[in-house]
Amino acid sequence: MASITLDHIAHAYPGAPGAAPHYALKPINHVWQNGRAYALLGPSGCGKTTLLNIISGLVIPSEGRLLFDTADVTRLPTEKRNIAQVFQFPVIYDTMTVAENLAFPLKNRGMEKGAIKRRVDEIAELLDLKPVLGRRARGLTADAKQKISLGRGLVRSDVSAVLFDEPLTVIDPALKWELRSKLKSVHQALDLLMIYVTHDQVEALTFADEVVVMKDGAVLQIGTPAELFERPAHSFVGYFIGSPGMNFLPATVAGHEANVAGTVFDLGARYATPANAGKIEIGFRPDYATLHETGGIPVRVLKVEDLGRRRLARISVGGQEAIATLAHEADLSPGDTAGLIIEPGHLHLFVDDLRVEGERA
Amino acid sequence: MMDKPWNNRAWLFVVPVLVVVLFSSLIPMMTVVNYSVQDTMGQNNFFWNGVAWFQGLLDPTSDIGGRFASALVRNLIFSIVILCLELPLGIAVALCIPKQGWKVGASLVLIALPLLIPWTVVGTIWQIFARQDIGLLGAALNAIGIHYNDTQDPTSAWATIVIMDVWHWTGMIALLSYAGLKAIPDAFYQAARIDGASRWSVFRNIELPKLQKVLVIAVLLRFMESFMIYTEPSVVTGGGPGEATSFLSLDLVKIALGQVDLGNAAAMSIVYYLITLTICYVFFTIMTQLDQRKGV
ipTM value: 0.74
Q: Any CB–CB contact under 8 A between A13 and chain B?
A: no
CA–CA separation, A22 and A11 (whole Å)? 9
Q: Which of A198, A216, A240 is the last residue of a domain?
A: A240
A197-206, B155-164, B272-281: least confident range:
A197-206
How close are the terminal C-alpha atoms of chain B, in Å? 42
What pLDDT shows up at residue A361? 52
For B266-295, give one letter per residue: b (16+ CB within 10 A) or e. Answer: bbbbbbbeeeeeeeeeebeeeeeeeeeeee
| Minimum-distance CB partner of B205 among A58, A95, A149 | A95
Contacts 24+ apart (CB under 8 A), A201-204: A201/A41, A201/A240, A201/A241, A201/A242, A201/A243, A203/A39, A203/A168, A204/A39, A204/A40, A204/A41
- Are residues A122 and A263 both part of a single domain? no
Lay out the sheet containing A83-86: strands in order across. A83-86, A161-165, A193-198, A37-41, A210-215, A218-223
Do A197 and A164 form a contact (C-beta atoms < 8 A)? yes
Exposed / middle / buried, residue A320 (Cβ in 10 Å: 0-12, 13-18, 19+): middle
**pLDDT tens column, B66-102:** 888 888 999 999 999 999 999 999 999 999 998 888 8
Chain B residues touching A163 at Cβ < 8 A:
none
Q: Is the pLDDT of residue B128 over 60?
A: yes
Element (DSSP H or E) covering residue A71: strand A71-72
A15-29, A38-52, A270-284: least confident range:
A15-29
CA–CA separation, A172 and A91 (whole Å)? 17
Chain B residues touching A77 at Cβ < 8 A:
193
What pLDDT shows up at residue A19? 60
Task: Inspect the interface and report whether the beta carbons of A56 and B194 lie closer than 8 Å.
Answer: yes
Q: Any CB–CB contact under 8 A between B293 and chain A?
A: yes
Q: At A136, which CATH number?
A: 3.40.50.300
Q: Any CB–CB contact under 8 A between A88 and chain B?
A: yes
Q: Is the pLDDT of residue B277 over 50?
A: yes
User: Which comes out higher in pLDDT, residue B55 or A38?
Assistant: A38
* Count: domains in chain B: 1
What mean pLDDT value characterizes chain B? 87
- Are residues A105 and A127 both part of a single domain? yes
CA–CA separation, A170 and A251 (whole Å)? 44
Is position B146 within any domain? yes
Element (DSSP H or E) covering residue A49: helix A48-56
Is position A220 within any domain? yes
Query: What percent of chain A stands above pLDDT 90?
Result: 0
- Are residues A208 and A288 both part of a single domain? no
* Count: domains in chain A: 2
Q: Collapsing DSSP states into helix, strand and coil, what is residue B43?
A: coil
- Are residues A76 and A183 both part of a single domain? yes
Q: Please give the backbone phi and psi of residue A299, each rounded to the nearest 5 degrees, phi first.
A: -140, 170
**pLDDT tens column, B103-115:** 999 999 999 999 9
Q: Collapsing DSSP states into helix, strand and coil, what is residue A155?
A: coil
Q: Any CB–CB contact under 8 A between A60 and chain B?
A: no
Task: Inspect the interface and report whether the beta carbons of B209 and A93 lie closer than 8 Å.
Answer: yes
Q: Given phi > 0 = left and psi -120 to 50 = alpha, else beta, which region is A217?
A: left
CA–CA separation, A314 and A304 (whole Å)? 6
Q: Please give the backbone phi and psi of residue A195, each rounded to the nearest 5 degrees, phi first.
A: -125, 125
For A158-184, give one letter per residue: b (16+ CB within 10 A) or e. Answer: ebbbbbbbbbbeebeeebbeebbebbe
Q: ∠ at Cα B171 (B168, B172), nearest 5°?
A: 100
Is position A116 within any domain? yes
What's the whole-number mean pLDDT along residues B210-226?
91
Is position A361 within any domain? no
Is position B7 within any domain? no
Q: Any CB–CB contact under 8 A between A167 and chain B?
A: no
For an interface test with B, give the residue of A94, A123, A136 to mutate (most B CBs within 10 A).
Answer: A94
- Are residues A204 and A276 both part of a single domain? no
Task: Inspect the interface and report whether the beta carbons of B191 and A149 lie closer than 8 Å.
Answer: yes
| Cβ within 8 Å of residue B29, ≥6 positions away | none
Q: Collapsing DSSP states into helix, strand and coil, what is residue A112?
A: coil
Do A209 and A37 form a contact (C-beta atoms < 8 A)? yes
| Residue numbers of the domain that contains B188 | 71-295
Is position B170 within any domain? yes
Q: Any CB–CB contact under 8 A between A239 and chain B?
A: no
Nearest CA in chain A to B195: A105
Q: Which of A186, A210, A240 is the last residue of a domain?
A: A240
- Confidence grade of residue A158 (pLDDT, cut at 50, 70, 90): confident
What's the whole-number mean pLDDT along residues A1-11?
81
B126-130, B237-241, B276-280: least confident range:
B237-241
Nearest CA in chain B to A81: B194
Lay out the sheet containing A280-284: strands in order across. A247-250, A280-284, A347-351, A354-356
Q: Supply the DSSP symbol for A256.
A: E
Q: Any CB–CB contact under 8 A between A104 and chain B?
A: yes
Q: Any CB–CB contact under 8 A between B203 and chain A?
A: no
- Are residues A95 and A174 both part of a single domain? yes
- Are residues A35 and A131 both part of a single domain? yes
Helices (H) and strands (E) in chain B, counts: 14, 2
What pLDDT shows up at residue B295? 46
Element (DSSP H or E) covering residue A214: strand A210-215
Restricting to A residues 114-153, those with a Cβ less than 8 Å away from any Cβ of B are 138-139, 149, 152-153
| Minimum-distance CB partner of B191 among A87, A138, A139 | A87
| Residue numbers of the domain that contains A277 | 247-356
What mean pLDDT value characterizes chain A? 84
How, if at all, do strands A311-317 and B38-40 pair?
unpaired
| Minimum-distance CB partner of A109 among B185, B196, B206 | B196
- Are residues A138 and A100 both part of a single domain? yes
Q: At A317, which CATH number?
A: 2.40.50.140
Is position B144 within any domain? yes
Q: Is the pLDDT of residue B296 over 50?
A: no
Q: Is the pLDDT of residue B294 over 90?
A: no
**pLDDT tens column, A256-297:** 888 888 888 888 777 776 666 678 888 899 888 888 888 888
d(CA B202, nearest CA chain A) in Å: 10
Q: Collapsing DSSP states into helix, strand and coil, what is residue B51?
A: coil
CA–centroid distance for B141 within its chain? 29
- Are residues A183 and A202 both part of a single domain? yes
Is position B58 within any domain? no
Residue B5 preceded by cis peptide, ω within 30: no
Q: At B213, which CATH number?
A: 1.10.3720.10
d(CA A87, nearest CA chain B) in Å: 7
What pLDDT shows up at residue B170? 94
Closest CA to B229 of B70, B82, B89, B28: B82
What pLDDT shows up at residue A360? 63
Query: What percent of chain B stands above pLDDT 70?
Result: 97
Q: Which of A240, A266, A289 is the last residue of a domain?
A: A240
Q: Supply the DSSP symbol for A288.
A: G
- Are residues A107 and A220 both part of a single domain? yes
- Are residues A193 and A339 both part of a single domain? no
Q: Collapsing DSSP states into helix, strand and coil, what is residue A186?
A: helix
What pLDDT shows up at residue A264? 83
Q: Is the pLDDT of residue A58 over 50?
A: yes
- Are residues A314 and A225 both part of a single domain? no
What pLDDT shows up at residue A354? 84
CA–CA separation, B266 and B261 (whole Å)? 9
CA–centroid distance for B253 within its chain? 17
